[in-house]
């Protein structure tokens, strides 16, 4: 039956892709999905209050990702870290998810940052905040991802402050960590990270941190939406240090790689694409690059739509698709972020995802999309 979307009439598909779970680990690439949190829709909270999380639904979604053989990147930007989820909520999320990962044998890495700092901070205070979070992540049994810090960006006077801060943290890390470079398109407060707004200069500083401590760096995650820069950095990494693409615009080509290397993945788009992404990587495991690209290339239009400017609001589309796919019973987000995208944007996300066959129950997705249209006064 035709559904009338803001962009025009659309005939929903009736059969989903057959993407049954397979918990077997992926072989040729290490792949993490940065996972969203499920808010409690019945909590009496305002957008300025700490997030009220539906822990059962949040952990169930992580089990869904693990069932397909994916790793979970926890308490990252996709989980509304710093955009609805404060440090207290992130700490609880890390503890619960790490325990769940241990119980089911899932792979997990968790973000450690400085978001417990609520105002201007000195460099020693930034280091202390990082240390607190690093200790919690490692104490939970998870791998640590050293996230880019708004507080460090504000306190640092130049590249040397970044070099000293990261050297201090890497010396303390019990196990190799993932370094995370999140671009200003995801968080404007991170403009000029690594001590310069010139990306070439910033890249040199970033690589110097790694070169001085290669035994403490498992890998890097670059989220700059710049494939050429990622490839350049990837080729300059010390032997044994992985590149995890965070490029939600160019991930198929970066994961497929070239004759000089490839990227692993730590991606927010692999939250809604989890089962399809895992299936595509298993095809790649067989050496079938063309088959891998044939599966993932058609998803780029959806990803670019979800991550269009202002990019930081991509989480709204991610949670919409989780609701439409039946992973949660509502379209409510921490901080009221479900209102961050327009109805035409959300309707287009539904259409693109449905064309890909991402919804396990297309009829449920259609019914829920119709209800959203009705709430917005656009049902026909």
CB burial of residue 280 (10 Å; 0-12, 13-18, 19+): buried
The separation between CA 37 and the C-alpha centre of its own chain, rounded to angstroms, equals 11
In Å, the largest CA–CA distance within the chain is 61
CA distance 283 to 295: 9
> Helix crossing, 343-356 with 314-324: angle to 10°?
50
| Pair 83, 335: CB distance under 8 Å | yes
Question: Can you give the pLDDT at residue 201?
Answer: 97
**Alpha helices, DSSP H only, in the chain?**
55-67, 87-104, 123-139, 150-155, 159-172, 199-212, 227-235, 251-256, 274-285, 289-296, 300-306, 314-324, 343-356, 362-375
Distance separating alpha carbons of residues 15 and 278, to the nearest angstrom: 20
| Regions in the chain scoring below 70 on pLDDT | 378-380
Please give the pLDDT value at position 379.
60
Please say whether the beta carbons of 344 and 306 come within 8 A. Answer: no
Is the CB of residue 66 less than 8 Å from the CB of residue 106? Answer: yes
Q: What is the DSSP string of 200-215?
A: HHHHHHHHHHHHH-GG
Question: Judging by beta carbons within 10 Å of its beta carbon (0-12, 13-18, 19+), is residue 33 exposed, middle or buried?
Answer: buried
Q: What is the pLDDT of residue 380?
A: 59
Angstrom distances, CA of residue 241 to CA of 235, 236, 290, 362? 10, 10, 26, 41
Q: Are strands 264-267 and 108-112 parallel, antiparallel or unpaired?
A: unpaired
Q: CA 274 to CA 228: how far, in whole Å?
A: 25
Q: Tell me the C-alpha to C-alpha distance, in Å, between residue 181 and each of 6, 31, 187, 316.
A: 36, 17, 11, 22
Residue 24 confidence (pLDDT): 79
Angle at the Cα of 91 (from 87 to 95), degrees rounded to 5?
Answer: 170
DSSP-derived letter for residue 90 is: H
Task: Give the predicted TM-score (pTM) of the model.
Answer: 0.96
């Amino acid at each position: 039956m035709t559904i009338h979307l803001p962009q025009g009439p659309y005939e929903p598909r009736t059969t989903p892709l057959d993407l049954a779970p397979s918990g077997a680990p992926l072989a040729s690439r290490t792949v993490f999905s940065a996972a969203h949190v499920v808010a409690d829709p019945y909590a009496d909270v305002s957008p300025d209050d700490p997030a009220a999380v539906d822990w059962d639904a949040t952990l169930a979604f992580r089990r869904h990702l693990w069932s397909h053989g994916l790793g979970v990147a926890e308490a990252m930007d996709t989980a509304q870290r710093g955009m609805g989820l404060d440090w207290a909520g992130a700490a609880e999320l890390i503890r619960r998810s790490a325990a769940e990962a241990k119980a089911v044998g899932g792979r997990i890495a968790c973000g450690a940052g400085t978001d417990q700092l609520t105002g201007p901070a000195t460099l020693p205070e930034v280091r202390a905040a990082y240390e607190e979070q690093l200790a919690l992540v490692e104490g939970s049994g998870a791998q640590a991802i050293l996230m880019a810090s708004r507080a460090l960006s504000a306190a640092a006077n130049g590249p040397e402050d970044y070099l000293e801060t990261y050297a201090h943290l890497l010396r303390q890390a019990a196990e190799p960590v993932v370094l995370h470079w999140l671009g200003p398109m995801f968080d404007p407060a991170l403009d000029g990270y690594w001590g310069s707004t010139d990306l070439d200069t910033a890249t040199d500083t970033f690589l110097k941190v790694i070169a001085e401590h290669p035994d403490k760096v498992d890998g890097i995650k670059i989220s700059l939406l710049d494939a050429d820069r990622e490839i350049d950095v990837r080729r300059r990494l010390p032997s044994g240090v992985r590149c995890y693409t965070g490029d939600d615009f160019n991930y198929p080509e970066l994961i497929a790689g070239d004759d000089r290397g490839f990227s692993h993945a730590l991606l927010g788009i692999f939250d809604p694409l989890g089962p399809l992404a895992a299936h595509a990587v298993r095809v790649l495991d067989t050496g079938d690059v063309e088959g891998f690209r044939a599966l993932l290339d058609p998803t780029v239009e959806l990803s670019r739509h979800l991550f269009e400017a202002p990019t930081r609001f991509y989480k709204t589309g991610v949670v919409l698709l989780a609701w439409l796919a039946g992973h949660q019973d509502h379209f409510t987000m921490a901080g009221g972020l479900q209102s961050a995208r327009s109805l035409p944007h959300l309707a287009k996300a539904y259409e693109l995802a449905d064309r890909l066959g991402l919804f396990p129950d297309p009829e449920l997705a259609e019914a829920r999309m119709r209800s959203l249209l009705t709430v917005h006064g656009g049902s026909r």
